[in-house]
Amino acid sequence: MIPSPKVATYDLKPEMSAQKVVDAIINEIDNEPTDFICLNFANPDMVGHTGVYKAVTDALETVDKCTQQVVKAGLKKDYGFMIIADHGNADFMINNDGTPNTAHTTNLVPCFLINTDYKKLKKGKLADIAPTILKIMGLEIPNEMDGNVLI
């Protein structure tokens, strides 16, 4: 676990600890390959809650750069990737009245598969992610999971 920076609000450090997270994950990929890694870049969400537009764009640029680094390292080791978000926030920053939006949105979020045998995804919901990952990994889906497989 990589701790978040100690700042009053994350607009003061929109990059947060993303590069430290990347360094740790790439070290894991290179030196201790594993079947599954779950990685969360909190920047767009946490900085999005501040409502500071410039800081949010900086956070998004950081996550874009960091995601590229992780994917590049993982592809060298034949990792597959599912890139998702659990909700929106940084996608809608200014309310109709001009005030900053600091809340989560209910907008649809993207889901990308990279370097897997599957090229198309069905539309789905958050509950569909775990069963889909298990299917991609060739693992049994527990009966308790009521989500659908998206591939």
In a domain, 104, yes or no: yes
Contacts of residue 133, defined as CB under 8 A and 6 or more positions apart, other chains included, come to 36, 82
Q: What percent of the chain has pLDDT over 90?
A: 92
Q: What pLDDT, in 10s, does the model give residues 15-45?
A: 999 999 999 999 999 999 899 999 999 999 9
Q: Can you state the percent helix, strand and coil of the chain, rounding each to 5?
A: 40, 10, 55
Mark whether 134 and 69 lie in a shared domain. no
The CA-based angle 40-93-124, given to 5 degrees, is 50
Asked whether the whole model's pTM tops 0.85, one would answer: yes
- Hey, what are 72's tokens? 């590049």
In a domain, 62, yes or no: yes
Q: Tell whether the model's pLDDT for residue 125 goes beyond 90.
A: yes
Highest mean pLDDT among 60-64, 110-114, 119-123: 60-64
In a domain, 2, yes or no: no
Q: Tell whether the model's pLDDT for residue 116 goes beyond 90.
A: no
In a domain, 103, yes or no: yes
Q: What percent of the chain has pLDDT over 70?
A: 100
Question: Contact, 113 vs 133, CB < 8 A?
Answer: no
**Separation of CA 19 from chain center:** 14
Mark whether 106 and 68 lie in a shared domain. yes
Mark whether 138 and 111 lie in a shared domain. no
Predicted confidence at residue 118, as pLDDT, reads 86
Banded pLDDT at 119 (limits 50, 70, 90): confident
Mark whether 66 and 47 lie in a shared domain. yes
Mark whether 92 and 62 lie in a shared domain. yes
Mark whether 23 and 96 lie in a shared domain. yes
Mark whether 75 and 92 lie in a shared domain. yes
> How far is 1 from 116, CA to CA, in rounded Å?
27
Mark whether 23 and 55 lie in a shared domain. yes
Residue 80 sits in a domain whose CATH number is: 3.40.720.10
Helix (H, G, I), strand (E, B) or coil at 133: helix
Counting the structural domains of the chain, the total is: 2
Predicted confidence at residue 28, as pLDDT, reads 96
Mark whether 109 and 141 lie in a shared domain. no
- Report phi then psi at 123, rounded to 5: -70, 145
- pLDDT mean across residues, the chain: 95
The mean pLDDT value for 55-82 works out to: 97
Mark whether 96 and 62 lie in a shared domain. yes
36: containing domain: 10-115
Banded pLDDT at 115 (limits 50, 70, 90): confident
